[in-house]
């Protein structure tokens, strides 16, 4: 699994540069009080101050230069690392099975990719900030000990109080930030859901209720935000007390040492500066706050990356036998089943679709039709058994071989791209896009748009059926000798009967084996055979005209009366295998129906 904190060499080089800058700045700040103290001694003692003044000026100039370089390197690192993490998240999400992606929620994922990745990118700089933030107090302690041992002793007591403040702040802040980001993701998820369903909300007149549902998360979000600022304010207030205590303690000890002749005036000045530098908790508190936020973002990023990606094999399909190239492939379900929560959503199924055949899959809502289609297109792997195409398990195929051989279309396609043409075939030749649109009976519709295929997708006034046909055109794009299986999950449900019949004729003419999930009797009647699913099991496998004798089968189409002109009513044929006799043991389709 890719690790969100694993950076490429360029990012590691930038992080090394940030560390070098931070170390140089810390060293310069620790050296500055000593140099200034020597300058004071030179002035008091009447010595040559020019050397020390020049050294002070050079040190200050160096600190300014280091700060500028640090800002530039940090900006470059954060921009590059954030972009890399977002790219990693998007690439991984596109490789994860759809059902696992859906478990996060769209809004939550947007929040993780946008804000979470930016926070996670700060992990390296934040860790460097904490590491370097420890140097001023530690360095101050060492340098004070070199000046006078009692100065170090007076400094240590206050340093222990400062450490207690930092530990308490870090512990509280990490918990608060994690809860804050979790609620923020939930708010984004609810807002995304509402925007996607804006038309339904407007039609139902539930805008007020939806607004209350979304904004219900604002009070807890505000509460956690307040807790964050309170924790920071408490730590800042405690540091404001600890700092002066350390300074007074060190100054008192330094004054006593000066009267005793153990230190010089310049060393007293340096001791005062080291007391201020070592007791200043603002920098390390900010660094700890940034590290807590970065760790929370990293945790949310890793949760996404932990979702297993679909693994593809390296195999290809065997050459098609000597027959018509468009005859399609043999699709086989071998005891394929889908289980969840200890129960079968789709019971073990043995089924063979001969090359070039057409199988309609029907059943009531929740019967398992879409699950069967997802298994056939390898949009989901079976929990038991296997699905094979021309004798090769789908899981063993390379991604290229799988997508060249299998195409899928859906009832509610999501159109992606800037223009209508890109929605059909991003990067494909214009001729191929137009041909696919013609097969899907949507070419004439596109030509009536203001700019044809170049019309921005957001400006295209498409009906539900037209959008569905565009999605179908994308599915039919480049269907040729390599295409062996077409899976359509209710992909023509929004079309009128005449348009659907024309699309069906175009699909049949393109050849290939076809598995069609449908709620329409006419579509089932045109298929070679029908797989009738009921509550996750195969209730029967037979021609539509045979199954039509069963009142329960006719009830499946009650909302869509059959069209008697296309053979929907039964005439003759072998009896359907139903009940326990067909449960999980269907066999092949050969010989059970007429031509598609």
Angle between helices 123-133 and 282-305 (to 10 degrees): 150
312/395 Cα distance (integer angstroms) = 6
- Average pLDDT (226-239) is 68
Note the pLDDT of residue 331: 93
- Token duo for residue 187: 């708010």
Containing 123, the helix (H) or strand (E) segment is helix 123-133
Flag whether pLDDT at 220 surpasses 50.
yes
Instruction: Identify whether the C-beta of residue 261 lies closer than 8 Å to the C-beta of residue 174.
Output: no
Note the pLDDT of residue 171: 62
Q: Is the pTM higher than 0.95?
A: no
446/122 Cα distance (integer angstroms) = 47
- Average pLDDT (368-380) is 91
161/163 Cα distance (integer angstroms) = 5
Pairing state between β 537-542 and 529-534: antiparallel
- Torsion angle of C-alpha atoms 228, 232, 233, 238, degrees rounded to 10: 140
Q: How many CB atoms lie within 10 A of CB 160?
A: 9
For residue 96, the SS3 value is strand
Q: How many CB atoms lie within 10 A of CB 449?
A: 18
Q: Tell me whether residue 406 is exposed, middle or buried, using C-beta atoms within 10 angstroms of its C-beta: 0 to 12, 13 to 18, 19 or more.
A: buried
357 Rama sector, left if φ>0, alpha if ψ -120 to 50, beta otherwise: beta
Note the pLDDT of residue 570: 35
Note the pLDDT of residue 333: 95
Flag whether pLDDT at 336 surpasses 90.
yes
pLDDT band per the 50, 70, 90 thresholds, residue 389 = very high
Which one has a higher pLDDT value, 289 or 215?
215
Flag whether pLDDT at 295 surpasses 70.
yes
Flag whether pLDDT at 123 surpasses 60.
yes
3/165 Cα distance (integer angstroms) = 32
Domains and CATH numbers, the chain: 9-305 (1.20.1560.10), 325-588 (3.40.50.300)
Instruction: Identify whether the C-beta of residue 66 lies closer than 8 Å to the C-beta of residue 73.
Output: no
Strand stretches in 432-498, DSSP E: 485-489
* Cβ-Cβ contacts under 8 Å for 72 (sequence gap 6 or more): none
- Average pLDDT (329-336) is 92
Q: Which among 576, 583, 581, 580 is positioned nearest to 536, based on CA atoms?
A: 583
**Where is mean pLDDT largest: 40-44, 198-202, 374-378, 519-523?**
374-378
Where helices occur in 280-393 by DSSP H, the ranges are 282-305, 369-376
Where helices occur in 484-585 by DSSP H, the ranges are 497-510, 521-526, 544-547, 551-556
Q: How far apart are the first and last CA of the chain?
A: 45
Angle between helices 123-133 and 135-147 (to 10 degrees): 20
Instruction: Identify whether the C-beta of residue 189 lies closer than 8 Å to the C-beta of residue 145.
Output: no
Note the pLDDT of residue 539: 93
Note the pLDDT of residue 541: 93
Tally of residues, the chain: 596
Residue 112 DSSP class? I
**CB hemisphere CA count around 382 (13 angstroms):** 25
pLDDT band per the 50, 70, 90 thresholds, residue 234 = low
pLDDT band per the 50, 70, 90 thresholds, residue 576 = very low
**CA distance to 330, 340, 534, 539, 548, per residue, from 583 (Å):** 21, 19, 10, 6, 19
- Average pLDDT (319-342) is 78
Note the pLDDT of residue 1: 41
Flag whether pLDDT at 417 surpasses 70.
yes
Query: Residues 360, 364, 365, CA angle at the centre, nearest 5°?
Result: 110
* Cβ-Cβ contacts under 8 Å for 454 (sequence gap 6 or more): 419, 420, 421
Which one has a higher pLDDT value, 478 or 207?
207
């Amino acid at each position: 699994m890719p690790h969100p904190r694993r950076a490429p060499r360029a990012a590691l080089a930038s992080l090394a540069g940030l560390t070098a800058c931070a170390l140089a700045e810390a060293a310069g700040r620790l050296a500055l009080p000593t140099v200034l103290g020597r300058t004071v001694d030179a002035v008091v003692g009447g010595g040559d101050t020019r050397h020390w003044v020049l050294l002070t000026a050079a040190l200050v100039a160096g600190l300014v230069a280091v700060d500028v370089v640090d800002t530039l390197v940090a900006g470059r690192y954060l921009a590059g690392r954030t972009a890399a993490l977002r790219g990693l998240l998007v690439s991984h999400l596109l490789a994860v099975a759809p059902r696992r992606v859906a478990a996060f929620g769209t809004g939550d994922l947007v929040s993780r990719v946008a804000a979470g990745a930016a926070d996670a990118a700060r992990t390296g700089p934040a860790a460097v900030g904490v590491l370097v933030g420890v140097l001023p107090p530690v360095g101050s302690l060492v340098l004070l000990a070199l000046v006078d041992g009692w100065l170090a002793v007076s400094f240590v007591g206050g340093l222990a109080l400062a450490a207690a403040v930092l530990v308490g702040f870090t512990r509280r802040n990490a918990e608060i930030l994690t809860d804050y980001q979790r609620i923020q993701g939930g708010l984004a998820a609810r807002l995304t859901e509402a925007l996607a369903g804006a038309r339904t909300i407007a039609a139902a007149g539930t805008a007020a209720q939806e607004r209350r549902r979304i904004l219900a998360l604002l009070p807890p979000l505000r509460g956690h935000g307040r807790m964050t600022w309170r924790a920071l304010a408490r730590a800042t207030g405690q540091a404001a007390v600890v700092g002066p205590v350390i300074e007074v303690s060190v100054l008192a000890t330094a004054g006593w040492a000066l009267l005793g002749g153990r230190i010089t005036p310049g060393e007293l000045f340096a001791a005062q500066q080291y007391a201020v530098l070592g007791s200043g908790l603002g920098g390390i508190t900010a660094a700890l706050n940034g590290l807590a936020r970065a760790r929370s973002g990293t945790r949310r990023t890793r949760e996404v990356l932990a979702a297993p990606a679909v693994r593809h094999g390296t195999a290809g399909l065997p050459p098609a036998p000597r027959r018509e190239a468009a005859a399609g492939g043999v699709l086989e379900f071998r005891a394929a089943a889908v289980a969840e929560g200890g129960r079968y959503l789709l019971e073990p199924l043995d089924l063979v679709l001969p090359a070039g055949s057409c199988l309609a899959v029907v059943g009531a809502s929740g019967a398992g039709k879409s699950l069967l289609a997802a298994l056939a297109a390898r949009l989901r792997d079976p929990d038991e058994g296997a699905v094979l195409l021309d004798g090769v398990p789908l899981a063993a195929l390379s991604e290229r071989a799988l997508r060249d051989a299998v195409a899928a279309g859906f009832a509610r396609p999501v159109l992606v791209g800037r223009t209508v043409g890109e929605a059909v075939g991003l990067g494909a030749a214009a001729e191929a896009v137009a041909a696919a649109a013609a097969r899907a009976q949507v070419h004439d519709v596109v030509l009536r748009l203001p700019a044809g295929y170049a019309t921005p997708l957001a400006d295209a006034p498409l009906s539900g059926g037209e959008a569905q046909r565009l999605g179908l055109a994308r599915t039919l794009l480049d269907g040729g000798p390599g295409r062996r299986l077409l899976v359509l999950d209710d992909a023509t449900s929004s079309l009128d009967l005449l348009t659907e019949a024309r699309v069906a004729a175009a699909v049949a003419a393109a050849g290939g084996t076809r598995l069609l999930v449908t709620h329409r009797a006419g579509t089932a009647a045109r298929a070679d055979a029908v797989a009738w699913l009921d509550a996750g099991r195969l209730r029967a496998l037979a021609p539509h005209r045979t199954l039509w004798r069963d009142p329960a089968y006719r009830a499946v189409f009650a909302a869509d009366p059959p069209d008697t002109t296309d053979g929907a009513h039964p005439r003759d044929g072998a009896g359907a295998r139903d009940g326990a006799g067909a449960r999980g043991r269907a066999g092949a389709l050969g010989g059970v129906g007429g031509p598609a």
